């Protein structure tokens, strides 16, 4: 995950990671969620 974060920052791109692991969620800059098929930001 640290490698992915480094590439995202150096290349100024976005990565979308779908996971059920809270440890990965805690590393994220943003954590959007789905509610009734709509993306919502918490």
Q: pLDDT tens digits, residue range 3-22?
A: 999 999 999 999 999 888 99
Bigger pLDDT: 32 or 41? 32
Total residue count of the chain as it appears in this document: 42
Pairing of strands 38-41, 32-35: antiparallel
* Angle in degrees, CA 33, 39, 2, rounded to 5: 50
Tokens of 30: 């943003």
Query: How many domains does the chain divide into?
Result: 1
* Angle in degrees, CA 23, 41, 24, rounded to 5: 10
Predicted local distance difference test score (pLDDT) of residue 20? 87
Predicted local distance difference test score (pLDDT) of residue 13? 97
Question: 3, 9 in Cβ contact below 8 A?
Answer: no
Tell me the average pLDDT of the chain. Answer: 90
Tell me the residue range of the domain where 34 lies: 2-41
Predicted local distance difference test score (pLDDT) of residue 40? 87
Residue 42: pLDDT over 80: no
């Amino acid at each position: 995950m640290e490698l992915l974060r480094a590439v995202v920052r150096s290349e100024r791109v976005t990565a979308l990671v779908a996971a059920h692991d809270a440890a990965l969620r805690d590393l994220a800059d943003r954590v959007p969620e789905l509610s009734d098929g709509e993306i919502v930001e918490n």
